[in-house]
Amino acid sequence: MRIGWTSFWAFLAAIAVVSVATITSEGQAPPAGRGQAAAPQAAPARQAPAQPRPAAAAQGARTEDGKPNLNGIWQAINTANWDIEAHNAEAGPHNDIMGAWGSEPGGMGIVEGGTIPYKPEALKKKQDNFKNRMLVKVTNDPHRFDTGDPELQCFRPGVPRANYMPFPFQIFQNRDQILMVYEYKGSMRTVFMDKHQEAPVDSWMGWSNGRWEGDTLVIDVTGFNGHQWLDRAGNFFSDTAHVVERWTPKGRDHMMYEATIEDPAVYTRPWKISFPIYRRLEANAQLLEFNCVPFVEEMMYTPLGLYNPPNRSSR
């Protein structure tokens, strides 16, 4: 029940950001000089309240090797994390106490063509997923991954979901590698640009190899462990999924994102999602910690009797 509103706040904040961003997108501070002279170690202003910060270095449109410069903090503004297909606004799962805070916004969806081409048995599993989206199984065996939205339990979101969660993420780019860090759970992925590397093990975030096709960053993601959900509605893929992402800058402050999802075990054909991603333009934009492990411990361990210490009298 905490889940809904945490994300919802972030979502509201994101909306606020966009409205500000559209007004001030040309009012950017000039890039800071790099390698500036050694600054005094204990500058008096360190504890001062947030003040306009110099924009991160190198916010130019191109990197030193002529590629599009994607360095920065970004965020998608949509409701795909609730459901990547078109959906109505709905009361949330605990609207008896959560009211409008826990309610879910409607959305147009991000699936090209509107519908995910599930195989019949996979569609059944998607529907079961939705019914059981808040069923949390904490066990010592792999059944714990059978049901329940991984996001509810503070598990890694996988790709592409990480890119449209209602949290910002930061791209760090150099010639050889691109590092993407997501505020949600501090999840990260390394995109290998220099040489293609096969996934050595399966994982939640997958294994990413990238290349430039003109000004589009194309990332090939494989090596999923099959526990990922695409949203809170139960859409999913399996460990045979192959995701190809295309990140195309459309200006300094936004890009188009597209992902093709192929998984013969789940879908009848490859299908595609697409949406824009916007730069966070606040002068003091910075990823903060969203370490959600402590936020889910009570929910996960209370049913096992492991959250609260036993009473002395129960000995």
Q: Which of 26, 30, 65, 66 binds another protein (CB under 8 A)?
A: 65
How crowded is the C-beta side of 219, counted as CA atoms within 13 Å?
26
Decide if residue 71 touches another protein (CB under 8 A).
Answer: yes
Closest to another protein by CB, 15 vs 306, is 306
Q: Which of 19, 88, 308, 313 binds another protein (CB under 8 A)?
A: 308
Decide if residue 298 touches another protein (CB under 8 A).
Answer: yes
Contact (Cβ atoms closer than 8 angstroms) between residue 220 and residue 199: no
**What DSSP line would sit under 212-240, residue for residue?**
EETTEEEEEEE-B-S--BSSTT--B--TT
Site for another protein in 9-38 (CB under 8 A): 32, 34-36, 38
Site string for another protein, 76-115 (x = CB under 8 A): ----------------------------------------
Q: Which of 49, 66, 113, 214 binds another protein (CB under 8 A)?
A: 49
Q: Which of 45, 113, 114, 120 binds another protein (CB under 8 A)?
A: 45
Site for another protein in 236-255 (CB under 8 A): 239
Q: Which residue has tokens 């529907």?
A: 127
The span of 10-18, 127-135, 185-193, 266-274 binding another protein (CB under 8 A) equals: 185-193
Closest to another protein by CB, 63 vs 95, is 63
Closest to another protein by CB, 96 vs 297, is 297
- Backbone phi, psi, residue 248, to 5°: -125, 115
Pairwise CA distance, residues 221 & 207, whole Å: 5
Closest to another protein by CB, 40 vs 114, is 40
Closest to another protein by CB, 51 vs 88, is 51
Decide if residue 286 touches another protein (CB under 8 A).
Answer: yes
b or e along 231-256 (b: 16 or more beta carbons within 10 Å of the residue's beta carbon)?
Answer: bbbbbbbbeebbbbbbbbbeebbebe
Site for another protein in 138-177 (CB under 8 A): 138-142, 144, 150, 154-156, 170, 172-175, 177
Site for another protein in 188-247 (CB under 8 A): 188, 190, 197-205, 223, 225-227, 239
Q: Which of 30, 66, 214, 305 binds another protein (CB under 8 A)?
A: 305
The span of 77-85, 116-124, 267-275, 296-304 binding another protein (CB under 8 A) equals: 296-304
Closest CA to 188 of 220, 232, 157: 157
Q: Which of 43, 97, 120, 313 binds another protein (CB under 8 A)?
A: 43
Residue 111 CB, nearest distance to another protein (Å)?
A: 27
DSSP state at residue 153: G
Query: Where does the chain show beta strands of DSSP type E?
Result: 72-76, 169-173, 177-182, 188-192, 207-213, 216-222, 242-249, 254-262, 271-279
Contact (Cβ atoms closer than 8 angstroms) between residue 164 and residue 151: no
b or e along 272-286 (b: 16 or more beta carbons within 10 Å of the residue's beta carbon)?
Answer: ebebebbbbbeeebe
- Backbone phi, psi, residue 171, to 5°: -105, 125
Question: Hey, what's the torsion of the CAs at 79, 84, 86, 89, to 10 degrees?
Answer: -40
